[in-house]
Amino acid sequence: MKILISTDIEGVAGVFHPEQVRAGNGEYERARAWMTAEANAAVQGAIAGGAEDILVNDSHGGFRNLLPDGLDERARLVLGKPRYLGMMGGLEEGCDAVFMIGYHSRSQGRGILAHTINSFAFARVFINGMELGEAGLYGALAGEMGVPVILATGDDVFISETRDTFPGAEWVQTKVAHGQGSGVTLSPAASRRAIAAAAETAVRNLKAASGKSSGGKAIPFRIPAPIECRLQTQSAALADLFCMWPTLERVDGVTLRFTVDSMQSAVRTLNSLAAMSFMLR
């Protein structure tokens, strides 16, 4: 059984401030070590549950935050960008399930460090009428490939807005949000223990269900094509820029939309727009 562990940083226990998620300072260095430790907890739990092969995907920012020399040696590490599958890089190898570790709530929400893909550029993202954050977008990408999300960790707002998207998944609440930059957190050690236990349970449940004709509780999150994406930008200037792309349609001052034939195409388009936005920074 092969597990992909997609690891972000905003949902990691102890992380609350933008400085902790941006390279170039001591606070970030401590936070990336906590991020690596939570990834390791997920690896350890997955192996205890019976996983034989594990990929850990660095899914934050420039995708080079996890410490390779600190990673459990039984896992392999997916680093760097660009990559077509973004936060789901590694699924190309044929995985059985996904863990989302250290994830966060969507933009415009009340979760800790909430955003969707690019906090400078994107205000809200809708797919076929459903507002989704990174977990929903990338969970749908995994689902399109037939792969379910079986474990997710982050703050209470993230869990509340995402729980119904992944039926049968295990959840670990690492902290409670009181605002964008405040709340109550587990200690890193307590968070790691909870993640390891949930990871073991998630893999055991998946293995137990794999031989049943009913398919068990782990259900891939699928959104049928065609995929219409409606994107609300953070400013009219960004919408001006993005609509230089001829296939994008302007809806109003800050909103555009496009239609594609798959979630992979939708995610790749959004990531391309996020890269374009650096022209206006």
Query: Catalytic site residues?
Result: 115
Here the tokens at position 124 are 């809200």
Q: How many whole angstroms separate alpha carbon 76 and alpha carbon 72? A: 9
User: E-assigned strands of 102-160?
Assistant: 122-127, 130-131, 149-155
Q: Does 104 belong to an annotated binding site?
A: yes
Q: How many whole angstroms separate alpha carbon 268 and alpha carbon 273? A: 9
Q: Does 8 belong to an annotated binding site?
A: yes
b/e code 188-206 from CB counts within 10 Å (16+ = b): beebbebbbbbbbbbbbbb
What are the phi and psi torsion angles at 35 (to 5°)? -60, -45
Sheet of 130-131: strand order equals 130-131, 122-127, 227-233, 255-260, 249-252
CB 43 within 8 A of CB 72: yes
Q: Does 60 belong to an annotated binding site?
A: yes
Which residues, 6 or more positions from 26, have their beta carbon under 8 angstroms from its beta carbon?
none
b/e code 16-50 from CB counts within 10 Å (16+ = b): beeebbeeeeeebeebbbbbbbbbbbbbbbbbebe
Q: Does 134 belong to an annotated binding site?
A: yes
CB 46 within 8 A of CB 3: yes
**SS3 state at 259:** strand
Known binding residues for Zn(2+) are 8, 10, 60, 104, 134
